[in-house]
Amino acid sequence: MGSFAYSNKIIPAQANQFWFINKGHIAYASFMPKGELQIDSSRFATLKNQMMKYYENINQISPDLFLISIDNGFALYNPETKIEATSYKPKPIIQGVYNITKEIKAFTDSDEELSIPYSSNNIRIRFAIPWYSSRPVRFQYFLEGYSQDWSDWSEEYQKDFTNLRNRNYTFKVRAQLPDGTITDVTSLEFTVNPPWYLTWWALLIYFLLFAVCIHYGRKWYEHKLEKHRKILREKLSRQQEETLKKEMEARERQMVQLKNEQLEQELAGKNRELANSAMNIVYKNELLNTIHEELISLKDNDGKKLSNEHVKKISKIINEAYNDERDWNLFEKSFNEAHENFFKKLKKDYPALVPNDLKLCAYLRMNMNSKEIASLLNITTRGVEIRRYRLRKKLNIPTEKNLSEFLLEV
């Protein structure tokens, strides 16, 4: 019996079968027909020191099933199960996936695909192995899509993963038993869903918003383009109007210039006519004066001078020719055509002027000399100077101002 000969507790099992408990070790003993005692303790090696000391208890709950009480639960034993201790290799189980504080229901035996919201992408995975041993079991894990390689062996039975990106993951875990045996790998596939702003409906909204932006952006661009075109059309219209206005102004200036040139030509022609008319009057008066002088010295056939009666009669005719207003009226008409409103303005501004003063003003404006004026007025050159002096006083012209220049400015 070995060490079990000093067992501290023996519990009856079935006929000729007993449970031996010695210092935390468990053995199942059977008395064979030939009186031999067969003790099986190897298959209970994992339960070493798992039972509560002094309160060890094993109950038969059915003809072929025993309930063994241990510290953290119980174990079931069926004597008819023929399993080699060395052939049994437990496999890790995944107990659950947690969002650190809030559990996400997920188990390895679930056929439903595990889907984790992006808002819960900080997870904790707990795992265990159905193996009882006094020595610790170590675990090694690997998260495809997150880890680069398998982790180091550790006695930790949980692992935290933070800030998982939206994608598919496969969590793998395996265990190393106290005897160095490495178990098969247990896998859990799960998916971290994309954030709400990357979901299909969010992308659809983005697409719709983009389409709306494109539509209204195009409308805005077309409106802006049309506005720009309108501005260009208005600018072009203004430029055309300005160009047309400038052309019209240029034409008007040209027409005014032509008209002024025409008026100047007409004025020059009228001035020439005035000058010719005045010279004709001067010539006529000089001729009359010569005739009058010749008349005085004229003699009859007998060599006698003409009588005073005949001389006076002819002199009267000559004087009437001198003072003929028809020449002046014709001259005045031509002068008014060439110098519009000249006499009217003089009469308005200087009402004290008499007709002879107006004649003198006209002759001076034509820049005629005193001799020519004397012949026109039938007076002496001295008389012209006296009239010029009197005219300056009537016009109130300063002494430094030239009389002819003053009359040209009227």
What is the pLDDT, as a whole number, of residue 181? 87
What is the pLDDT, as a whole number, of residue 89? 74
1: Cα separation from own chain's centroid = 98
DSSP letter, residue 297: T
Burial of 376 (0-12, 13-18, 19+ CB in 10 A): buried
> Which of 9-18, 59-68, 111-120, 319-328 bottoms out in mean pLDDT, i.e. has the lowest?
319-328
Are the beta carbons of 41 and 27 closer than 8 angstroms? Answer: yes
For residue 356 the two structure tokens come to 């002879």
- Tell me: pLDDT of 38 over 70: yes
Average of pLDDT values for 48-52? 79
Average of pLDDT values for 322-336? 70
Q: pLDDT category, 155, cuts 50, 70, 90?
A: very high
Question: Which of 365, 355, 195, 348 shows the shortest CA–CA distance to 267?
Answer: 365
- Tell me: pLDDT of 321 over 80: no
Give start and end residues of each alpha helix (H) in 75-197. none
Q: With the CA atoms of 13, 16, 17 and 18 taken in that order, what torsion angle do they form, in degrees rounded to the nearest 10? A: 80
- Tell me: pLDDT of 42 over 50: yes
CA triple 238-242-246, angle to 5 deg: 170
Place of tokens 């010279």: 279
Q: pLDDT category, 108, cuts 50, 70, 90?
A: very low
From CA 315, how far away is CA 313, in angstroms rounded?
Answer: 5
Name which residue leads in pLDDT, 143 or 48: 143
Question: Which of 370, 289, 275 shows the shortest CA–CA distance to 322?
Answer: 289
- Tell me: pLDDT of 199 over 60: yes
Average of pLDDT values for 29-33? 82
Name which residue leads in pLDDT, 315 or 202: 202
Q: pLDDT category, 307, cuts 50, 70, 90?
A: low
Q: How close are the terminal C-alpha atoms of the chain, in Å?
A: 163
Average of pLDDT values for 77-81? 79
Strand pairing category for 9-12 and 17-22: antiparallel
From CA 410, how far away is CA 399, in angstroms rounded?
Answer: 18
DSSP letter, residue 67: E
- Tell me: pLDDT of 323 over 70: no
From CA 387, how far away is CA 383, in angstroms rounded?
Answer: 6
Question: Which of 164, 158, 160, 161 shows the shortest CA–CA distance to 117?
Answer: 164
